[in-house]
Chain A
């Protein structure tokens, strides 16, 4: 489901079936080449589908999503007068928008469509059980047909999109996105936590593979962003709260005081008189800064800042006035207070960047124990002419230029034992660049690079690698097992195995540079919660689709750029930033977006105005007027999670497109055959259904017993659905949602938890095995967890006796008097 699908106005009026119209369903079973057909017998599934009630036509096609495949559907709609369509192929998260458009082009309302996910949830996860997979595919089609017959045409409402953007993070990605949007003509708020924009790129000396000076190419962009009439910089600021929805976000930004007014001319007279010092973060602690400072010469804004945690003046007591006296402009003002700025924006770009890995935990490399073991970021500051050593690569132990230098790759990356599992993407090329920089300044320096693999995959990268080898840089495959320091000279011995030569090495170096990896920022959890984003198991933000929507997030109107999404180099960050700006620009240019018609309708006849629905609504989108005896839904604030529908005890709420009736029909279809050997799973669209999709994409194999029913949120799963499944003789039921605290609908999954706990108590009270109902929190990245949950549930299914199932059926069929 995408809420980004800005639907084009279709020329023809949607043809909506009247009640007299008999339901005429077309089913299309996709081979997807051999992706599905390699496991599932698609012809057999199509033949089976033709036998289902109200199915008029059933076909199997090679690639249903191709133009030809879609043409077939369009022709059939006209020729056979179809008014409902089922496509059995991949995940609706991938191609539902495609086929919905197909229906619209054929003049049918796009809500009269349903997908059976027989690829991610079937063929890919049951590769070696062809017969069982085919049976499962039939069940999935049966469920989809049952649901589609009950679907109703819907009309989407439109919400306006504010033509302003909020960009979180002022690194190169944030700056690029801000400039692109501002140049297009939109107002941009660029929020940066640090006193200056610039980010990591400002710290780096040269860029690979072109060896451009990093700050020289970044500084003009920084000052462009600083003086652009459409960009408002909010530095030393943090986003504290984001509310609202696509097109209409309300963000609260805390603007922390600088204690120096904007009339600061950045003359720097205040700094030398300041009596307190601390290591400068920008120089990775290699140089000192005062309490009043500017992080670096090219900082934007150039206004100085006072670090009040260091300054001698605490709270309201100002006694040390050295800086105040030194400032001719009188720009220093200790009376400044934090201020909260409220912004109304239509789109948000998250460009919060990344941290570097701290190698101190790798004891065998001796970082923080041996002075001459430094990180690659410290190296950047040392080799930088504006850095603490004026561009001289010096050993911290004696300030002398080293004769021999060793680089160690994959520090904190690609390791199951220490650090992170993933490749950090930039370290290989960064080291090659660094080795060439040393050769350029001090050609006689002997340079070793200890590596696992050299990944020179990009444009111009291999050339640079070859250049380094020609210059005499020695590449040795095999990371050192240990570094030992000579106590007298502080030089270092690197011991390890050369895995190409199959021999042990013992190399002496004056200085060792640890090529540290990239990791998610420490406060990425905060950003995640603010914007209800998903994270990969590695902790980077997850895109809506890894191939086709790589800068979108599952939250409509929120986009990603730079290292917040995954480790990447400057070029990729800039590319992604422009892409994110373009995606945000599309929304803002249109000025409106269609919201999915999945919001609830309240039947005033049945509603008792009890207010239970309003109490569970995470968005306060339901207004209960006890005096006038009416309950109303604020359409624009509602996101369609369905928690209210699950809560209503009177059946007064109809969740459009996910009605009780439709869900019951799916349960009935899933349990029609061999219910006692099946697991009925309710999965939320954003996390658990996506997690099951991820298990499919990763080809994780699990038993064929599970039948997944998709709801927007696990909060939609009413107790009566679970009871209905048990009444139908189901062996086990799984309810799966986002992790608590990560719910796409703020906190709706706490309702899920409450309801399942109630059901567990009820099962116990009835003398039933409560393990037959399982609750799992499965994120979109946890395919493995989904697969292992289903495996675990297989044993529950195996253990359930016939008697127990019969007992459950009779207890729940007769009603249990709640």
Chain B
């Protein structure tokens, strides 16, 4: 058997990875779903609500997973989504 890696690494608390804050401009969205499809961390999902254009914009499912890769910004054809770095000085 290859090694089983089951433990929480001892330095898990010390490693800092960037945390993102996702902003969605709902009414710009045309509901293509690219951001949901391509987010490598599975942060987004399609919401139930309708926007002004009559489509379902995305919503944030689990923001803690966002590492600010900027993928959603790059794939969005309508510039309707962006992420900024979260200020984690006081703890997130």
Contact = CB atoms under 8 A, between A and B. Distances in A.
Given A276-B17, A276-B67, A312-B67, A287 B10 contact: yes
A286 B10 contact: yes
A313 B74 CA distance: 13
A358 B12 CA distance: 23
Contacts of B12: 288
Contact of B71 (A283, A312, A355, A371): A312
Interface string B1-45: 111111101111001011000000000000000000010110000
A358 B5 CA distance: 11
B9 A312 contact: no
Given A287-B9, A317-B38, A388-B11, A355 B1 contact: yes
A356 B9 contact: no
A522 B1 contact: yes
Interface string B54-92: 000000000000011111001100000000000000000
Given A275-B18, A275-B69, A312-B69, A288 B4 contact: no
A377 B3 CA distance: 10
A360 interface: yes
B2 A522 contact: yes
Interface in A314-357: 314, 317, 319-320, 355-357
A279 interface: yes
Contacts of B17: 274-277
A396 B7 contact: yes
A97 to B, nearest CB: 40
A58 to B, nearest CB: 57
B69 A285 contact: no
A377 B5 CA distance: 12
A399 interface: yes
B15 A285 contact: no
Contacts of B75: 319
A285 B3 CA distance: 9
A275 B2 CA distance: 26
B9 A285 contact: yes
A389 interface: yes
Nearest to B15: A288
B83 to A, nearest CB: 11
Interface in A353-373: 355-358, 360, 368, 371
A284 interface: yes
A404 interface: no
A286 B70 contact: no
A312 B11 CA distance: 22
Interface string A278-314: 0111011111100000000000000000000000111
B69 A279 contact: no
A355 B74 CA distance: 43
Given A275-B69, A276-B17, A320-B70, A285 B40 contact: no
Nearest to A289: B9
**Residue of A280, A281, A320, A399 contacting most chain B CB atoms (<10 Å):** A320
Chain A contact residues, majority secondary structure: loop
Contacts of A288: 9, 11-12, 15
B3 A356 contact: yes
- Chain B, interface size: which category? 20 to 34
B5 A284 contact: yes
Contacts of A396: 7, 10
B11 A319 contact: no
Contact of A285 (B5, B41, B67, B71): B5
A389 B74 CA distance: 40
Contact of B7 (A275, A279, A281): A279
B32 to A, nearest CB: 16
**Residue of B18, B68, B71 contacting most chain A CB atoms (<10 Å):** B71
A388 B7 CA distance: 13
B6 A286 contact: no
Contacts of A522: 1-2
Contact of B6 (A317, A368, A377): A368
A319 B3 contact: no
**Residue of A312, A371, A389 contacting most chain B CB atoms (<10 Å):** A312
B85 to A, nearest CB: 11
Contacts of A280: 9
A131 B38 CA distance: 81
B1 A287 contact: no
A655 B4 CA distance: 52
**Residue of B5, B10, B67 contacting most chain A CB atoms (<10 Å):** B10
A357 B1 CA distance: 7
A282 to B, nearest CB: 10
A377 B69 CA distance: 35
A768 B39 CA distance: 70
B5 A319 contact: no
A313 B38 CA distance: 10
B71 A279 contact: no
Contacts of B7: 279, 285-286, 371, 396
Contacts of B6: 285, 360, 368
A587 B28 CA distance: 74
A405 B77 CA distance: 60
A578 B84 CA distance: 58
B67 A319 contact: no
Contact of B74 (A319, A368, A377): A319
Nearest to A319: B71
Contact of B9 (A355, A358, A388): A388
B35 to A, nearest CB: 12
Contact of B15 (A277, A281, A317, A320): A277
B13 to A, nearest CB: 10
**Residue of A275, A312, A313, A357 contacting most chain B CB atoms (<10 Å):** A275
B62 to A, nearest CB: 15
Given A276-B17, A314-B40, A284 B71 contact: no
A317 B5 CA distance: 29
A279 B9 contact: yes
A332 to B, nearest CB: 15
A275 B10 CA distance: 18
Contacts of B2: 355, 522
Nearest to A521: B2
A525 to B, nearest CB: 14
Contact of A312 (B1, B3, B15, B41): B41
A396 B11 CA distance: 11
Contacts of B70: 319-320
B11 A287 contact: yes
A286 B71 CA distance: 30
Nearest to A388: B10
A281 B3 contact: yes
Nearest to A314: B40
Contacts of B71: 312, 317, 319-320
A522 B17 CA distance: 34
A31 to B, nearest CB: 49
Contacts of B10: 286-287, 388-389, 394, 396, 399
Contacts of B74: 319
Contacts of A312: 40-41, 67, 69, 71
B69 A319 contact: yes
Contacts of A377: 3
Interface in A373-402: 377, 388-389, 394, 396, 399
Given A281-B5, A320-B40, 16 more contacts: A276-B17, A279-B5, A285-B5, A286-B7, A287-B9, A288-B11, A312-B69, A312-B71, A317-B38, A317-B71, A320-B71, A358-B1, A360-B6, A377-B3, A388-B9, A388-B10
30 contacts: A275-B18, A277-B15, A281-B3, A281-B5, A284-B3, A284-B5, A285-B4, A285-B9, A286-B7, A288-B9, A288-B12, A288-B15, A312-B67, A312-B69, A314-B40, A317-B71, A319-B74, A319-B75, A320-B40, A320-B69, A355-B1, A358-B1, A358-B3, A360-B6, A371-B7, A388-B10, A389-B10, A394-B10, A399-B10, A522-B1
Interface of B: 1-7, 9-12, 15, 17-18, 38, 40-41, 67-71, 74-75
